[in-house]
Amino acid sequence: MTPEAASIEARKICELAPVVPVLVVDDASTAADLARALVAGGLPALEVTLRTPSALDVIREMATVQGGVVGAGTLLTPKDVEAAKAAGATFGVSPGVTDELLDACEANDLPLLPGTATPSDVMKLYARGYTVMKFFPAEANGGAPALKAIGAPIPQVKFCPTGGISMKNVNDYLSLSNVLCCGGSWVAPTNLVKAGDWAGIEALAKEAAALAR
């Protein structure tokens, strides 16, 4: 998969909904129910972070849920890419980028939202052919004002900012012309997941899905 093709696919995924849930799931037995609640609420694109021992099993379970588009987050190495693809992930997300990671995603036909934090990061990826990227950690890197400033000289690139975003500040990002969607964990809080409150999670998802872009 070429970088250009990867960005086309990444853009399609980002345009599915205003928010991509960023999920850290410890128990794979809850994965399908969680995915169904989020999809029912209008958030079909799901990022499962590879931060728990059960993450690959979570991806496998969520990949069976109708209407869901499941990706793997926290991709760091080529081995992560191969494992995520084998588990059923249809896209990847990384906190930053290395040439080895990009090579692996391209070789495995896994569309990637590569992580960026600076104009230099953005320029290097743009030179390789990527036009859709993650901005991370968004709030720690200056938030919406910083992303707006990056967009002024590099309007060709669109972003999914992630990190420190909630309902309190999400509209600051979604109002920017270079933002396609935002990544956030607030739609699947740990207490609701542990309680199995799928109706509560669906309600949060509906609220997020109704945000204007």
Are the C-beta atoms of residues 92 and 110 closer than 8 Å to each other? yes
Q: How far apart are the first and last CA of the chain?
A: 29
Structure tokens at 188: 């699947």
- CB count within 10 Å of CB 203 equals 15
Q: Is 134 a catalytic residue?
A: yes
- Residue corresponding to tokens 């896209």: 91
Are the C-beta atoms of residues 117 and 142 closer than 8 Å to each other? no
Catalytic residue among 61, 85, 106, 134: 134
Nearest residue to 180 via CA among 7, 1, 42: 7
Are the C-beta atoms of residues 206 and 42 closer than 8 Å to each other? yes
Structure tokens at 185: 């964990």
DSSP structure class, residue 33: H
Measured CA to CA, the distance from residue 144 to residue 1 in angstroms comes to: 31
Q: Is 9 a catalytic residue?
A: no
Show which residues are catalytic: 47, 134
